Amino acid sequence: MIPFLQKLKHIQRKNNSLLCIGLDTDVMKVPEFLYKYEDPQYEFNRLIIDATKDLVCAYKLNIAFYESVGEHSWYTIHHTLARIPEEIVTIGDGKRGDIGSSAEKQAHSLCYDWEFAGTTVNPYMGKDAVEPFMKRKDQCAFVLAITSNKGAKDFQYLKAKGKPLYEHVVLQAKKWNTKKNVGLVVGATKPEDLKRVRKIVPTMPILIPGIGAQKGNLEATVRYGCDKNGELAIINVGRGVIYAGSGDEFADKARASALKYREQINNYRQKYFG
């Protein structure tokens, strides 16, 4: 059993990449030629994975894009995960969290059935609601701190005891991190706040969505999201990579896009971390 952080660092170095590809595969958007297969969603993922697996540190699957397809999604997730090389980090993005016995059940699917290396969890219900996702040292729970959507401002920035709510979440998550398997989610759309978070948790992994379609700032994301060695940021791009092309050559286009993102990220790493 390889501890999560060790696995993450290994693949970030081996593939020289902080890029995570978001396999949020909308079955309605896969190229037509895949419709001849029994599971077009899996075939799409397979071709993306095969075309990009030397360029990424992680793949993130938003569970909703699968469960919305119906009963077969359970297999689609299994098959997709089986196609991803063992050494690459997989993240099950379900934003889960519930009271004890229910959270155990949620974690059962994500951590023991599919066996994602990382999961995303929602902190609103507190520690015991996310604890089942932090049981194994080889699995990391990424706690939502600042999200990349418009509604992030509704509650995450409310000030309590002089600090925004998200900062309370960050401080708690840091306390929960006794096994070095807790991370945070911070949207790329708020670079100044990402900087603030990284200061509080210098050695925790941060999953950063919002690059690409959501127009987050990549330079600031690299500069403020990385640890002091220019690592431990997991920079997610979804639609910007997987839908870079739309025809028969979509996987090549995805590879070209992933290459471009990896290069941009590495240029900024070079600039700020030498």
| 99 is a contact residue toward a second copy (CB under 8 A) | yes
Q: Which two tokens stand for residue 236?
A: 């997610």
CA dihedral 97, 102, 104, 107 (to 10 degrees): -50
Question: Could you say which of 95, 137, 163, 253 is catalytic?
Answer: 95
- Given 79, 95, 179, 195, the residue binding a second copy (CB under 8 A): 95
| 98 is a contact residue toward a second copy (CB under 8 A) | yes
Q: Are strands 19-22 and 159-160 parallel, antiparallel or unpaired?
A: unpaired
- Given 54, 67, 115, 219, the residue binding a second copy (CB under 8 A): 67
* Comparison of 11 and 208: residue with beta carbon closer to a second copy: 208
| 256 is a contact residue toward a second copy (CB under 8 A) | no
> If DSSP codes are grouped into helix, strand and coil, which group holds residue 48?
helix
Whether 194 contacts 224, CB under 8 Å? yes
Which of the stretches 36-44, 95-103, 221-229, 244-252 binds a second copy when contact is defined by CB under 8 A? 95-103
* Comparison of 151 and 202: residue with beta carbon closer to a second copy: 151
Which of the stretches 6-14, 43-51, 158-166, 240-248 binds a second copy when contact is defined by CB under 8 A? 158-166
- What are the backbone angles phi and psi of residue 252, rounded to the nearest 5°? -65, -40
- Given 83, 125, 200, 220, the residue binding a second copy (CB under 8 A): 125
Which residues, other chains included, contact 105 with Cβ-Cβ below 8 Å and sequence gap of 6+? 98
CA-CA distances (angstroms) from residue 205 to 3, 32, 107, 120, 228?
Answer: 13, 38, 20, 12, 12
- Given 1, 36, 38, 154, the residue binding a second copy (CB under 8 A): 154
| 75 is a contact residue toward a second copy (CB under 8 A) | yes
Is 95 among the residues known to form the active site? Answer: yes
| 101 is a contact residue toward a second copy (CB under 8 A) | yes
| 246 is a contact residue toward a second copy (CB under 8 A) | no
CA distance 130 to 128: 5
| 64 is a contact residue toward a second copy (CB under 8 A) | yes
- Given 16, 165, 245, 259, the residue binding a second copy (CB under 8 A): 165
CA distance 263 to 55: 10
Binding mask 190-209 for a second copy (x = CB under 8 A): -------------------x
CA distance 120 to 166: 15
Count of CA atoms in the C-beta half-sphere (13 A) of 4: 31
| 70 is a contact residue toward a second copy (CB under 8 A) | yes
Helices 40-52/73-83 angle, 10° precision: 20
User: Contact residues for a second copy (CB under 8 A)?
Assistant: 24, 26, 62, 64-65, 67-68, 70-75, 93, 95-103, 105-106, 108-109, 113, 122-130, 144, 147-156, 158-161, 165, 168-169, 172, 209, 214
Catalytic residues: 95
